[in-house]
Structure 1
Amino acid sequence: MANASRLIKKYPNRRLYDTQTSAYITLADVKQLVLDSEDFRVIDAKSEDDLTRSILLQIILEEEASGAPLFSSQMLSQIIRFYGHAMQGMMGTYLEKSMGAFVEVQQKFQDQSKAFYDPKGLGASPELWTQFMQVQAPMMQGMMSHYIDQSKNLFVQMQDQMQQQARSVFQNFPFPGAPGGPPPGAPPSSSASSPSSGPPGETGKK
């Protein structure tokens, strides 16, 4: 049977109580749980509302203000613009899948690097690991650029597919402005013959 998530309760005085250790903890302790890949959940002590996302956002806010931010102002502005947008849900899924793929690549890279620099499994020193990362920095930047280009191309292809599907769905809709339909202000189609007109070549015949 799988272990239940570690439960942390938040009280009105903003204190966090870890039910597993029966002790109050700080936001730094919660951050350490994240770094240790601990499965946990934060709830309001009174209402039992789930506050996990709120606490994680607080940790991100503190990290962003620490002098080594991960997000640029431009990126944050772009993320904000997606709130309330028709593609908000799709963007959230896209970011989550992209992050998962990047973490998987990063983990494989670390495993291979440790095996190369620490074949006996004794643990490479932090100094050796730092030197290794400095040497590998250009290669990592190249891998990142390639990964970003692939992600961008994938998203553009997804957009094109959605537009094509929209055109195929709405092409039979006569109202102006529909994808694949007439532009706004265009006169209605005159493909049908008027009731007074006869078959081709019969005009004027009695």
Structure 2
Amino acid sequence: MAQSRRPSASEDGSTDGNSQRVLKKYPNRRLYDTQTSSYITLADVKKMVLEGQDFVVRDAKTGDDLTRSILLQIILEEETGGVPMFSSQMLAQIIRFYGHAMQGMMGSYLEKNLQTFTDIQKNLAEQSKGLYDANMMNPEVWTQFLNGQAPGVQNLMGSYLEQSKNMFEKMQEQMTKQAETFFPGMPGFGGPKR
């Protein structure tokens, strides 16, 4: 059995400490971390994502950026094991947007919504920090916290969903106006009023 040669750090140009961490994907499906000079697994890449590390995955031969495909592999593994995040109906709706005029807008819409949701999570985590104090850990304090959080979380989520709905409706209005401009008088786009 032939052993794969490990490339040196100088071969990939990643010796600069300020640059993005580079992972190389080889034809044998193995991932090589140029920072640690070792082969890693998808579980290691997932850990890097969870830790918020900035990295890029490159094809070892062509140099093509494979980061998205590796992240999609991690999502696929997470979806097939345990409790999935996406329902079949949601995945089907996402697929329907490919090739649709609003495909590009849908990506930024989902990204903004995920960022808003992440911000809400951070705010809740900040509010609950005091509860981790050993002196504060008693049932009465927890009850007060949870009773106070339920309406707050409901208000945050309600506001978040309303903003999301409004943003999507504005995007639809913009698309309709642009279509009317490009295709005046065409059925389905309104056209000039007489």
TM-score category by the smaller chain?
Answer: 0.7 to 0.9
Runs of at least 4 residues off by over 3 Å: 134-143, 164-167
Deviations 1:77-115 (A, max 9, x none): 11000000011001111111111122122112212211x
Q: Is 1:35 paired with 2:64?
A: no
Q: Is 1:159 paired with 2:169?
A: no
Q: Is 1:92 paired with 2:107?
A: yes
Tell me, yes or no, if the aligned pair for 1:18 and 1:24 is still in contact at 8 Å.
yes
Q: Is 1:70 paired with 2:76?
A: no
* Percent identity of equivalent pairs: 59
Q: Which residue of 2 aligns with 1:117?
A: 131
Tell me, yes or no, if the aligned pair for 2:24 and 2:33 is still in contact at 8 Å.
yes
Structure 1 residues 68, 137: CA separation in 2 closer, same or farther (over 3 Å shift)? farther
Task: Give the match's secondary structure for 1:43.
Answer: strand
Superposition map of 1:7-156 within 5 A: 7-114=22-129, 116-118=130-132, 135=146, 136=149, 140=153, 143-156=156-169
Q: Which residue of 2 aligns with 1:194?
A: none
Code of the residue aligned with 1:144 in structure 2: it is M
Q: Is 1:179 paired with 2:193?
A: no
Question: 5+ residue gaps in structure 2?
Answer: 1-15
Q: What CA distance in whole angstroms lies between the structure 2 residues aligned with 1:13 and 1:170?
A: 49
Code of the residue aligned with 1:35 in structure 2: it is L
Question: 5+ residue gaps in structure 1?
Answer: 183-188, 190-206
Deviation (angstroms), 1:42: 0.5
Deviation (angstroms), 1:139: 5.1
Task: Give the match's secondary structure for 1:33.
Answer: helix
Deviation (angstroms), 1:176: 4.7
Code of the residue aligned with 1:81 in structure 2: it is R
Code of the residue aligned with 1:179 in structure 2: it is F
Tell me, yes or no, if the aligned pair for 2:58 and 2:66 is still in contact at 8 Å.
yes
Identify which range, 150-159 or 18-27, moves more after superposition. Answer: 150-159
Q: Which structure has the greater CA radius of gyration?
A: 1
Deviations 1:103-129 (A, max 9, x none): 122112212211x2146xx8x99xx9x
Identify which range, 57-66 or 139-148, moves more after superposition. Answer: 139-148
Q: What CA distance in whole angstroms lies between the structure 2 residues aligned with 1:34 and 1:90?
A: 25
Number of equivalenced pairs: 171
Q: Could you tell me the TM-score, scaled by structure 1's length?
A: 0.71
Deviation (angstroms), 1:148: 1.9
Tell me, yes or no, if the aligned pair for 1:170 and 1:181 is still in contact at 8 Å.
no
Deviation (angstroms), 1:162: 3.4
Q: What CA distance in whole angstroms lies between the structure 1 residues aligned with 2:83 and 2:186?
A: 51
Code of the residue aligned with 2:175 in structure 1: it is M
Q: What CA distance in whole angstroms lies between the structure 2 residues aligned with 1:2 and 1:98?
A: 33
Task: Give the match's secondary structure for 2:128.
Answer: helix
Tell me, yes or no, if the aligned pair for 1:16 and 1:24 is still in contact at 8 Å.
yes
Structure with more of its chain in helix, by fraction: 2
Q: Which residue of 2 aligns with 1:196?
A: none
Deviation (angstroms), 1:153: 2.4
Code of the residue aligned with 2:47 in structure 1: it is Q
